[in-house]
Amino acid sequence: MLNIFSYIKNVIFIFIGAFIMSISINGILIPNHILSGGVTGVAMLLHILFNWNISLLIMFINIPIFILGYKFINKRFTFLSLIGMFSLTISLYFSQNFKIPTQDILVSVLLGGTISGLGMGIVFRGSGSTGGTDIIVKILNKFLSFNMGSISFALNMIIITLSSFFFGIDLSIYTLATMFVASQTTNYVVDGLNYKRTISIITDKHEEISQRILREAKRGVTLMHGEGGYTKAPKTIITCTVGIRQVSKIKEIVKQTDPKAFMTISETAQVFGSGFVGFNKID
């Protein structure tokens, strides 16, 4: 029963996200000759050049891709992506006459990218996609171990090159900017705005520093025992995950207690568990 409710929730997310994407595509991007990434971008290009039906183009281009996806990757992802593809084609059909009047190309880039990224992020929160290059990326990553980000970038560069050839360098740069805005918005929707930082501290005064972090920053710490690669001397590593505002406090504590300590700070997109709230679960 729980699995059925999970599917229903995912399908609802996918429908909503696909509809939002269609608003951006029909309302802003196509009227300004700005393309999105992947198969949708190819379909938009053919629609602008030859006035072919964009909904049918997306469907026909995706048919061989989905056959490969069903054969080689996760069936659940393929099924939900199929729903996403049909949701997008249906939404594009019903919103084809919808236009958002924008007078400035920069406004079109920012608004179009934000709305498109919002829709795609919601689709991803539904554990699906709109098909196309998402499936190609997963297949290449699974069998050839290519980096997924690099594959997506390479495929989108093809779209940008085509945009430059048919519409000029200016619009191709606007297309690139729109893709960037959309990707950043998607990341925020999927991962949330509540980014954290994970701090690692190598120090001879681990007891003092850890106690000060517990007492003054009100954050838990984990002590890991290691060994210096050159000196072979035993080392204690303090690890803690904190909010962005607490980073400066931790740095101050370490600087005051042990100026010779070695510290690294890395971005952490998702945190869940004791002491943290607002975790965004993706099925």
Give the model's pLDDT for residue 283: 38
Segments making up each domain of the chain, as ranges: 2-191, 196-268
The 10s digit of each residue's pLDDT in 68-95 is 888 887 777 788 889 999 999 999 999 9
Using one digit for the tens of pLDDT, what is the confidence trace for 176-230?
Answer: 999 999 988 987 887 666 678 899 999 999 999 999 999 888 889 999 998 888 8
> pTM for the complete prediction?
0.75
Residue 173 confidence (pLDDT) above 90: yes
Candidate CATH numbers 1.10.10.10, 3.40.50.300, 3.30.70.120, 3.40.630.30; the one for domain 196-268: 3.30.70.120
Scored b (16 or more CB within 10 A) or e, 3-28 reads eeeebeebbebbbbbbbbbbbbbbbb
**Contact between residue 11 and residue 106 where contact means Cβ atoms under 8 Å apart:** no
